Amino acid sequence: MSWSLKIGRVAGIPIFVHWTFLILLGWIMLGQWGQSRDATVALAGGLFIITLFACVVLHELGHALMAKRFGVETSAITLLPIGGVASLQRIPEHPVQELLIAAAGPMVNVVIAAVLYLALGVRFPGTVDDAVHLEQGDFWARILKVNVFLVGFNLIPAFPMDGGRMLRALLAMRLPYARATRLAASIGQALAIGFAFLGYSSNPMLMLIALFVWIGAEAEARQVEDRTALRGLRVRDAMLTEFHALKPTDTLGHAADLLLAGTQHDFPVSSPGETRFRSILTRADLMAGLAASGREGTVAGHARTELPAVEVASDLAEAVASLQEGQLSCLQVTDRDRTVGLLSLENVGECLLVRSALRGSDSAPPGPGRRLIAAEA
């Protein structure tokens, strides 16, 4: 994730902290100091936030380590002011596996709370929902209370909370995966409406949670629907086969003319005689180059140094995941170490549009000789 600082690695998984988390930490400490004018109190407030987010990291590691047991790797764990994010490379569609992965996070918080309560004798100072004790209670009592809250909050059956994924996994034991996801998302959005009404009448924070749940549920449903639509397709089915390529010695002015003359935004770069592209000039690179060097600047001075490749027979869904995770504009498509096309998210979207249109038509699909996207496999 951009604007994140790597703070360590646990079980081979890099841990990042987003810069906005540091703002939250500073804001809490400044607020504590402003109320007490005591540096010790301010440091204690900061230590509480750090300990709280250590529990969040353990929660996310629970997901990551359980996922690893099923062959699913985790790219990174990132701390944000609203919690933590474990970036799993994929979510297994086997319902039991997803159920166990989703449940592993809250179970970590259950274990932490149990150790504090049973082994260390920590007790709740007052009622669990008494917010005053989150600021004034005993340090470990507050940590106990927060872990209980994390368990309850994450078990809400709505995406993107763990409870929503657990609900989807249970539904998927009886229903197709995409349908189970849409049903779980609808339940989550119904809960979001309830949160919004409660928030309007009592606690505005619930309105923020409602928005968070609504957006997360819809995003999850759309992601699964797109992944389902890509199932069985190969990279060859969506690659771009007609495009302009540039030489390192070409001018930026020539690239700008090509940009204005067509719909291509990114231009692969290779020298004469090469069978693969070694770099790419994106539209952003081109604009920056024109601003710095003018039309006479050369492509070699502004093209990116690498254009990742994917095999023509590779699974399209995996290629899309690579594009999204790497925040790449496109991939070069190779066949026996020779570039035969380009793949971008725009191509994939057009491929899905064509497939959707063909499903709604009685006519036979076109032959394989199309240029922009390939016919159905």
> How far apart are the C-alpha atoms of 147 and 52, rounded to whole Å?
8
Single-letter amino acid code for the residue at 82 = I
Write out the two tokens for 56: 């969040």
| 4-10: strand order across its sheet | 4-10, 13-18, 74-80, 83-88
Contact 275, 289 (CB under 8 A): no
The pairing of beta strand 309-311 with beta strand 331-334: parallel
The annotation status of 162 as a binding-site residue, yes or no, is yes
Q: What is the pLDDT of residue 108?
A: 94
- 165-174 own/partner pairs: CB under 8 Å, 24+ apart: 165/91, 165/98, 165/99, 165/101, 165/102, 166/99, 166/102, 166/103, 168/98, 169/95, 169/96, 169/98, 169/99, 169/102, 170/95, 170/99, 172/93, 172/95, 172/98, 173/95, 173/96
Tokens of 103: 């449940």
Asked whether the beta carbons of 243 and 329 are under 8 A apart, the reply is no
CA separation for the pair 193, 284 (Å, rounded)? 40
Q: Give the integer Cα–Cα distance in Å for 261 and 346.
A: 18
Which residues, in sequence order, are CB contacts of 344 under 8 Å at separation 6+? 240, 266, 323, 329, 330, 331
Q: Distance (Å, rounded) from C-alpha 167 to C-alpha 200?
A: 27
- Distance separating alpha carbons of residues 108 and 86, to the nearest angstrom: 14
Question: 355: number of CA atoms within 13 Å, CB side?
Answer: 20
Pairing of strands 331-334, 339-343: antiparallel
Here the tokens at position 106 are: 């809250």
Helical packing angle, 162-172 and 95-114, nearest 10°: 140
Catalytic residue check, 98: no
Residue 37: count of CB within 10 angstroms of its CB = 9
Query: Per residue of the chain (377 residues), what is the pLDDT tens digit?
Result: 456 677 778 878 888 887 766 676 677 667 767 776 777 777 877 788 888 888 888 998 999 899 888 888 888 888 776 667 787 777 776 889 989 999 999 999 999 999 988 887 877 665 544 444 444 557 888 888 888 988 988 888 888 788 988 998 999 899 888 888 888 888 888 888 888 888 887 777 778 778 877 887 777 777 777 777 777 788 888 888 888 888 888 999 998 998 898 878 888 888 877 777 878 888 888 898 899 888 988 888 888 767 788 888 888 887 887 777 666 777 888 888 788 888 888 878 888 888 777 776 544 444 333 333 322 22
Residue 112 is predicted with a pLDDT of: 92
Q: pLDDT value at position 36? A: 66
* pLDDT value of position 106: 92
Distances (CA, A) of 274 to 94, 245, 249: 44, 12, 14
Contact between 302 and 205 (Cβ < 8 Å) = no
Residue closest to 92 by CA, chosen among 61, 68, 76: 68
Would you say 63 is a known binding-site residue? yes
Model's pTM, two decimal places?
0.65
Eight-state DSSP code of residue 118:
I
Residue 372 is predicted with a pLDDT of 32
244: annotated binding-site residue?
no
Choice among 60, 135, 296, 311 that is catalytic: 60
Q: Which pLDDT score is estimated for 200?
A: 80
pLDDT of residue 278: 77
Angle between helices 39-69 and 139-154 (to 10 degrees): 40
Cβ contact 148:111 at 8 Å = no
Amino acid 376: pLDDT: 29
